[in-house]
Amino acid sequence: MRMRFDVLTLFPDMFSSPLRESILGKAVERELIQIRTINIRDFTLDKHQVVDDTPYGGGQGMVMKVEPIARAIESVKSQSPSARIIYLTPQGKPLSQDLARRLSTQPHLILLCGRYEGVDERVKELYVDEEISIGDYVLTGGELAAMVLIDAVSRFIPGVLGCDRSAEEDSFFDFLLEYPQYTRPFNFRGSCVPEVLVSGNHSAISLWRRREALRRTSLRRPDLLARANLSEEDKRLLEEILNSSDHC
């Protein structure tokens, strides 16, 4: 097993299908990754298995109680004391390709998913090593965020994407968006594939793709372009793009 994820959640069923299908499903089957869910409710001690309570000081919504989460974490940690605990929250560090790559070098991550207004602050103070956000929007719970993190991190585990494909070949490796892709048919209802792609001229194809990647990035994500490592040739291509009518 190359990497383990233990997910602490009130909704373990949410994780079954997304992590069983396709590439992640294969990775689990091939034991490149292991994903376990732990139901926080199983760590309550009261008859009604209460996991939330009203906030001190008043206000709307409910807060997840510290004791069930503490017991759930301690139970996982007792088997794996060095595992890092991540809490998914909009207040966390933004998830990026770099952060995903760094997390993929960890042998064991514990992902804590909050519901309602989130967890009692003492959970973070006492247990959480790192808070991570998947973006500036509000979800109904941390479960989908945890799945996004597992997906992005797993792509960096050797073998997950298949033998000779690496996560580094994809978008963001060099801070450029991907060029447009086409497959058959050549003509779909009058909309045709760019001629260069069927020319058989490999250097012309490479040049076209690079140009399209640069054009898209400068148009849609100038913030990324500023971080890209551009060659002299790239700079020349960009100059050309900016001065031509296809900068739209």
- Interface residues for ligand 4HQ in 161-190 (CB under 6 A)? none
Q: Is 135 an interacting residue with respect to ligand 4HQ (CB under 6 A)?
A: yes
Q: Is 137 an interacting residue with respect to ligand 4HQ (CB under 6 A)?
A: yes
CA nearest neighbour of 30 among 150, 153, 163: 163
Taking contact as CB under 6 A, which single stretch among the options 51-59, 103-111, 128-136, 223-231 is the one that binds ligand 4HQ?
128-136
Q: Which of 90, 101, 210, 240 is catalytic?
A: 90
CA nearest neighbour of 19 among 113, 117, 154: 154
Three-class SS state of 168: helix
- Interface residues for ligand 4HQ in 51-90 (CB under 6 A)? 88-90
CA nearest neighbour of 185 among 197, 193, 196: 193
Q: Decide whether 139 or 219 has the Cβ nearer to ligand 4HQ.
A: 139
What number of chain residues touch ligand 4HQ (CB under 6 A)? 14
What end-to-end distance do the CA atoms of the chain give, in Å? 47
CA nearest neighbour of 69 among 121, 141, 4: 121
Q: Is 145 an interacting residue with respect to ligand 4HQ (CB under 6 A)?
A: yes
**What ranges make up the beta strands (E) of 193-233?**
none
Residues that bind ligand 4HQ (CB under 6 A): 88-90, 114, 118, 133-135, 137-139, 141-142, 145
Give me the active site residues, please.
90, 117, 155, 170
